[in-house]
Chain A
Amino acid sequence: MTRLLRAPVAIAAPAMLAAVVAIVPLVYLFDASLSRGVENAIREIFLARTATLVLRTLLLTFIVTVACAVVGTINAWLVVRSSLPLRPMWLMLLAMPLAIPTYLSAFAWVSWIPTMSGFLGASIVLTLASYPYVMLPVAAMLRGADPMLEDVARSLGASAPSALIRVTLRQIAPAIWAGSLLVALYVVSDFGAVAAMRLETFTWVIYGAYRAGFNPTRAATLALVLVAMALLLIVLERHFRSRVTQRLGAGTARSTVRRTTLTLVAPALVVALTSIGFGIGVPLVSSIRWTREASATTDWSAVFTTIMSSFWIGFLTGLATLLLALPVGILIARFKGRLADVTEGAVFVTHSLPGIVVALSVVYLGINLVRPLYQQVPLLVFGQVIIFLPLVVGAVRTSIEQSRLALEDVSRSLGVSRMATVFRVTIPLAIPGIAAGGALAVLGAMKELPTTLILRPTEVETLATSIWKYSVVSDFGAVGPYAVSLMLLAALPTALLSHVAVVKVAR
């Protein structure tokens, strides 16, 4: 049904601003890439070493994605469908790798088993860090899938494992696809793990091109190729996401049938324990060990200063992202029309931009347009807002779309204006999504490495840059306190996020 409502200016104006902000990096990428002519850019793309780079990145992406699809699905099944006790706690633990930056895990592995460095190490670290992106949507869809179908299959003579594969797996396939494509997107965008593992993939080479004498054309051209790959992934992801249906209607929820079959639960439990043990255990144990080894030489006041700057930058990024994401989310969810479509498109494209790409383009922006802000906190926050805007818009928008349109109609028929309705009905009902979105941005900003490395003021160190600085010279004793602090700080928003997920899934 068409909605004739035009968006109030108080929503349309900031949403348009957000669209412009979101699209700025791409404009600068094209500009920088083509600055030495189209031919130069094309030659750069068709170099043999570019092809090797593409193949290596694709292979890594494929292996990690398949591994995450398997591990994430098994873990989701365990927390939703098994009769395991304390399922919410398991879900929380299994989601915890989201709190741990990939570069930290990677350094922990390398310091433990130095020969892990390279392709194998990067695959393991990225799998352990990314399977929650499959686990969470699959768990939500499993929760909504009709468990009766499996019983029907059993009554028709299928064994328990066969019913699981022939019926349930089919039902949740769209969620597995959507989650896997998200994993693929994060793998091609990841900088931390491949940098720590010294694996030459796109992001690491782009960073190198930027560092080595600042070759803007090569860096920007490679970035464009990377964006093209990411854009393809995200278009596919959206296609599958649209097929992920949630259970609709008010009817009484069927209670989920829990499986106790040992043949199913035991192997799944092994997978879950491995995920938790290696995903959280390795970085956590390493960080604590490093901290204890170097406890005598640790400069705790420096650590504290770093914690505060990480916290402030995270807080500012979270706040700024929410302020932009809220009007965008409301516009897309409630005031459909051309403006909403354009804004949605801009934010959507931005989701495909890896952190390193955003950082580079903000550098160009800083140097060419706003010189005084270059390597100042506002520009750093600006870059991080671009990175996290799509995630936060997604969270806000989903929770607005879940509340009934009729509530807003009722509000207006009671004499309350459109704008007042937004404040009195729309926003209060979307609080869980807004909180989750804010948590996502704060968490992301505290973990974010390439943007911070490139855009921070030279005198400011964050937890991320400190871990990086000491790790690249293998001074792990110095890394310890920063690593422990970052994990503790990041655990907070992660707990909030998985609480939202737990409420949705394990209810």
Chain B
Amino acid sequence: MTAALELIGVTHRFDDTVVLDNVSFQVEAGSITAVLGPSGVGKTTLLRIICGFETPQQGRVVISGREVARDGDSLVAAEHRGVGLVPQEGALFPHLSVANNVSFGLKQRRSGESRARTNHLLELVGLAHCADRRPEELSGGMQQRVALARALAPNPAIVLLDEPFASLDAALRASVRAEVVDALRRSKATALWVTHDQQEALSCADNVAVMLDRRVVQRGTPVDLYRSPASRAVAEFVGEAVHLRGQARGTTVSCAMGNLQLARAADGSVTVIVRPEQIELDDSPTETSPRGRVIASRFYGHDGEIDVRLPNDEVVVARLHARLLPPVGADVALRVTGQALAFA
């Protein structure tokens, strides 16, 4: 199977500032890939390069096996690339009705075929009843779904979504996100999704490319990224991390939380990283169980977190079921489940 999109060694500068440094990854046809990175890391520039609004100084962009940009030359104009774009806040055409927004990119817009395609897509995103409405009459979430229908209408090789839910209320975001993913899956579209929200990337995408400091530092499935991050920076960006000093020897490491199993062998002085949910209260402690005093407790409703100060003054965070939260000041025994990570 050919990749729907391939970036090979893409490097881009604005004046003398490097915004993308040797970025390479590919998106398999029919998959959803997320590009996850903090704000200002060059994600939007990346999308503009794929769309054809910017041309990278170095590297190649290949869409469905066709080279569209290479080393400073744009080989295919934006309008001929077959790339659907869902920008931030949707950017619906305010002068057109919902249906005319969706049919904007179709050839022969007044033909029966176009009308059928428009209806089909509006049904796909669950907005068939809104065809004649004006964009400003729709809620933010509905506007995003129309924007997706519009991008899908000309049957693009790939759909690019640029922080599509950043402007929505937290309460609305989860449901709109689920609807959009569902629509993408049912239309069997290929999508590249740019976000700074790790939860969004991990829960929606088949594959995630993590961008830090202008480059892609790791690619993999959400589970891979979370369980075996390639670097300390990735471990810290994808999920929460508890840091401890330790001495590693092969696949074991000794630290303030005792002797832990390592996912990858290491040797010498290391920083040990475990996830807060790996740390539990030990209800049948032994002599060697690590102990500490609870110095802070945060109640979230369904669960909660405690900060525990260990005898050597290191502080660990444990995520617990809400009814297990001990009070501040309590002395507790802890244990670690699963494997830890170690970085030099």
Q: Within the assembled complex, what's the spacing in Å between the Cα atoms of A47 and B52?
A: 62
**Interface status of A398 (Cβ within 8 A of chain B):** no
B154: chain A residues at CB < 8 Å are 414-415
| B54/A413 in contact, CB under 8 A | no
- Asked, given contacts A414-B150, A415-B79, A416-B79, whether A406 binds B87 with beta carbons under 8 Å apart, the answer is yes
**Interface status of B78 (Cβ within 8 A of chain A):** yes
Interchain CB contact (< 8 A) of B80 among A5, A403, A409, A415: A415
**Interface status of A425 (Cβ within 8 A of chain B):** yes
| B105/A409 in contact, CB under 8 A | no
| A428/B95 in contact, CB under 8 A | yes
Q: Within the assembled complex, what's the spacing in Å between the Cα atoms of A1 and B54?
A: 10
**Interface status of A255 (Cβ within 8 A of chain B):** no
| B79/A412 in contact, CB under 8 A | yes
B89: chain A residues at CB < 8 Å are 250
A413: chain B residues at CB < 8 Å are 51-52, 78-79, 81, 83-85, 151
A1: chain B residues at CB < 8 Å are 14
Interface residues on A, range: 20 to 34
In the complex, the chain B residue whose C-beta lies closest to that of A425 is B93
Q: Within the assembled complex, what's the spacing in Å between the Cα atoms of A404 and B104?
A: 17
Q: Within the assembled complex, what's the spacing in Å between the Cα atoms of A415 and B83?
A: 9
- Asked, given contacts A1-B14, A2-B14, A4-B54, whether A414 binds B91 with beta carbons under 8 Å apart, the answer is no
**Interface status of B53 (Cβ within 8 A of chain A):** yes
**Interface status of A20 (Cβ within 8 A of chain B):** no
Q: Within the assembled complex, what's the spacing in Å between the Cα atoms of A1 and B49?
A: 13
Q: Within the assembled complex, what's the spacing in Å between the Cα atoms of A442 and B104?
A: 34
Interface residues of A in 366-424 (CB under 8 A from B): 403-404, 406-407, 409-418, 424
Interface residues of B in 68-94 (CB under 8 A from A): 74, 77-85, 87-89, 91, 93-94
In the complex, the chain A residue whose C-beta lies closest to that of B160 is A413
**Interface status of B195 (Cβ within 8 A of chain A):** no
Q: Within the assembled complex, what's the spacing in Å between the Cα atoms of A335 and B55?
A: 16
| A414/B95 in contact, CB under 8 A | no
**Interface status of A264 (Cβ within 8 A of chain B):** no
* Mask: chain A, 423-437; 1 = CB below 8 Å from B; 0 = not: 011001101000000
Q: How far is the CB of B56 from chain A (nearest CB, A)?
A: 11
Q: Within the assembled complex, what's the spacing in Å between the Cα atoms of A245 and B250?
A: 62
Q: How far is the CB of B205 from chain A (nearest CB, A)?
A: 21
Q: Within the assembled complex, what's the spacing in Å between the Cα atoms of A172 and B105?
A: 44
In the complex, the chain A residue whose C-beta lies closest to that of B101 is A410
Q: Within the assembled complex, what's the spacing in Å between the Cα atoms of A428 and B95?
A: 7
**Interface status of B289 (Cβ within 8 A of chain A):** no
B48: chain A residues at CB < 8 Å are 409
| B87/A429 in contact, CB under 8 A | no
Interchain CB contact (< 8 A) of B104 among A250, A414, A429: A414
User: How many A-B pairs with Cβ below 8 Å?
Assistant: 77
| A4/B55 in contact, CB under 8 A | yes
**Interface status of B199 (Cβ within 8 A of chain A):** no
Q: How far is the CB of B308 from chain A (nearest CB, A)?
A: 41
**Interface status of B231 (Cβ within 8 A of chain A):** no
Q: Within the assembled complex, what's the spacing in Å between the Cα atoms of A502 and B53?
A: 37
Q: Within the assembled complex, what's the spacing in Å between the Cα atoms of A293 and B162?
A: 71
B14: chain A residues at CB < 8 Å are 1-2
**Interface status of B108 (Cβ within 8 A of chain A):** no
A428: chain B residues at CB < 8 Å are 95
A403: chain B residues at CB < 8 Å are 94
| A410/B79 in contact, CB under 8 A | no
| B87/A410 in contact, CB under 8 A | yes
| A411/B94 in contact, CB under 8 A | no
Q: Within the assembled complex, what's the spacing in Å between the Cα atoms of A90 and B67?
A: 61
Q: Within the assembled complex, what's the spacing in Å between the Cα atoms of A250 and B153?
A: 27
| B51/A416 in contact, CB under 8 A | no
B95: chain A residues at CB < 8 Å are 428-429, 431
- Asked, given contacts A411-B104, A413-B51, A414-B105, whether A406 binds B91 with beta carbons under 8 Å apart, the answer is yes
| B82/A415 in contact, CB under 8 A | yes
B153: chain A residues at CB < 8 Å are 414
Q: Within the assembled complex, what's the spacing in Å between the Cα atoms of A56 and B200?
A: 70
- Asked, given contacts A414-B150, A414-B151, whether A407 binds B78 with beta carbons under 8 Å apart, the answer is no
**Interface status of B2 (Cβ within 8 A of chain A):** no
A414: chain B residues at CB < 8 Å are 79, 84-85, 104-105, 150-151, 153-154
A2: chain B residues at CB < 8 Å are 14, 54
In the complex, the chain B residue whose C-beta lies closest to that of A424 is B104
In the complex, the chain A residue whose C-beta lies closest to that of B51 is A413
Q: How far is the CB of A1 from chain B (nearest CB, A)?
A: 7
Interchain CB contact (< 8 A) of B87 among A3, A409, A412: A409
* Mask: chain A, 1-27; 1 = CB below 8 Å from B; 0 = not: 111110000000000000000000000
| A404/B91 in contact, CB under 8 A | yes
A404: chain B residues at CB < 8 Å are 91
| B167/A250 in contact, CB under 8 A | yes
* Mask: chain A, 188-216; 1 = CB below 8 Å from B; 0 = not: 00000000000000000000000000000
Interchain CB contact (< 8 A) of A410 among B55, B82, B85: B85
B88: chain A residues at CB < 8 Å are 406
Q: Within the assembled complex, what's the spacing in Å between the Cα atoms of A222 and B249?
A: 92
Interface residues of B in 37-53 (CB under 8 A from A): 48, 51-53
| A409/B93 in contact, CB under 8 A | no
Q: Within the assembled complex, what's the spacing in Å between the Cα atoms of A425 and B94?
A: 9
| A417/B79 in contact, CB under 8 A | yes
Q: Within the assembled complex, what's the spacing in Å between the Cα atoms of A69 and B54?
A: 46
Q: How far is the CB of A250 from chain B (nearest CB, A)?
A: 7
* Mask: chain B, 97-109; 1 = CB below 8 Å from A; 0 = not: 0000000110000
B82: chain A residues at CB < 8 Å are 415
- Asked, given contacts A414-B104, A415-B105, A416-B105, whether A407 binds B93 with beta carbons under 8 Å apart, the answer is yes
A425: chain B residues at CB < 8 Å are 93
Interface hub of A250, A409, A429 (most chain B Cβ within 10 A): A409
Task: Write 9 A-B pairs (CB below 8 A) sorted by A numbering.
Answer: A1-B14, A2-B54, A413-B51, A414-B85, A414-B104, A417-B79, A425-B93, A429-B93, A429-B95
Give chain A's interface residues, CB within 8 Å of chain B: 1-5, 250, 403-404, 406-407, 409-418, 424-425, 428-429, 431
Closest 8 interchain pairs by CB? A414-B105, A413-B85, A406-B91, A412-B78, A406-B87, A428-B95, A412-B79, A415-B79
* Sample of 17 more A-B contacts, CB < 8 Å, known A406-B87, A410-B87, A416-B79: A1-B14, A2-B14, A4-B55, A250-B167, A406-B88, A407-B93, A409-B51, A410-B93, A411-B105, A412-B52, A413-B52, A413-B78, A413-B79, A413-B81, A414-B79, A418-B79, A431-B95
